[in-house]
A = this chain, B = another copy of it.
Amino acid sequence: MIVVMEPESTQAQVDAAVKKVGELGLRANVIVGTERTVIAVVGEEREHAKEVLEVCEGVATVMPILAPYKMASREVRPEPTTVSCGSFAAGGSQIGVIAGPCSVESEEQIIASARAVKAAGATALRGGAFKPRTSPYSFQGLKETGLKMLAAAREETGLAIVTEVVSTEDVELVAKYSDVLQVGARNMQNYRLLEAVGGVDRPVLLKRGPSATMDEFLLAAEYILNGGNQRVMLCERGIRTFEAHTRFTLPLASVPYLHRKTHLPVIVDPSHGTGHTYLVTDMAAASVAAGADGLIIEVHPDPQNAASDGYQSLDFAAFALLMEKCRKVACALDRKLGCDPS
């Protein structure tokens, strides 16, 4: 941590800051520059130390040097983690493919979806039973009934089930029926929920909040890891920027950035990341080329009649083409995408 003093700071202020560093159990090195004095602080840094030093008189700013997360860090675990669950694996040479409708609408719909995405090579089925919706007047999901339909689809196809949990009260219920718990973008900083899924024996797919920095994203993962659950997958699903021609801006440089900073696998969601069907396939291929460990794609038997997110859902034929394109890219880069299509 580097403590930068104001140009007009006094010697007494420097001394006081150095004293404070000592009280925090850290060591101070004072460097007098031509225009400013800085104090280099040595020792295991804590978030709290930064906050304390930042408000000392005469201090202009405090620049942290170490990452604020630990268990998620590549410095702690240099080898990449592969998260597996039945037929699904993400990490290493495997690119996991999660596909299915935004919402579970009926048993027919979800089973048809499961069969189609499996046939095209997907290794997990997505489908929302508890839906967080921007408007209180929108369809909120079938809840436990939907979970049962998902379980039926697994029964039928063997696909791992990925579904969202929106509240601590539902964690147990959702874990009962599903294989992977998804924490949605709106809940990325719902710390109680992160703690709850941190205590469950299920992999977690953690979606990035649309205005979360990378440190905030990794600290959210840290909550889960800290709770004892090591099977965390990070999902880039787009950020909010001034761009209005896409619903969100999908910043694929997140993939190689995260691979450098963390051992956790990185999944990309080009459906939410673009918000338009016609952009999904190209961005899925780009995600694979960028090094993604997985894809999550919205697929619906009949997007024109979907209960939600039809504008960004692919039909079965379009999904098969997406898989074909992505498989070519994966193959060219020596990775394996999903399972072999039937």
Residues of A within 8 A of B (CB): 2, 4, 7, 29, 31-36, 38, 40, 42-44, 46-48, 51-52, 54-57, 63, 65-66, 68-69, 75, 132-139, 166-169, 186-187, 189-192, 209-211, 213-216, 219, 222-223, 226, 239-246, 249-253, 255-257, 260, 273-274, 277-279, 282-283, 285-291, 303-306, 308-311, 313, 325, 328-329, 331-333
From residue A173, how far is it (CB to closest CB) to chain B in Å? 14
A250 to B311, CA, bound (A): 24
The secondary-structure label for the interface of chain A is mixed
**B169 and A191 within 8 A (CB):** no
Residues of B within 8 A of A306 (CB): 51, 55
A328 to B57, CA, bound (A): 29
A215 to B166, CA, bound (A): 21
Residues of B within 8 A of A35 (CB): 44, 66, 75
Residues of B within 8 A of A29 (CB): 29, 31, 40
From residue A52, how far is it (CB to closest CB) to chain B in Å? 7
Out of B239, B245, B285, name the residue touching A243 (CB < 8 Å).
B239
Q: State the oligomeric state as a number of copies.
A: 4
- A136-B223, A241-B241 given; 13 more Cβ-contact pairs under 8 Å: A4-B65, A31-B42, A33-B65, A34-B43, A36-B65, A68-B134, A187-B189, A210-B211, A211-B211, A211-B242, A285-B289, A285-B290, A289-B289
Residues of B within 8 A of A256 (CB): 278-279, 282-283
Task: Given A244-B244, A257-B246, A282-B291, check contact A135 B304 (CB 8 Å).
Answer: no
Residues of B within 8 A of A289 (CB): 282, 285-286, 288-289, 329
Out of B244, B279, B333, name the residue touching A325 (CB < 8 Å).
B333
Residues of B within 8 A of A286 (CB): 252, 286-287, 289-290
Task: Given A168-B169, A306-B55, check contact A134 B219 (CB 8 Å).
Answer: yes
A314 to B151, CA, bound (A): 50
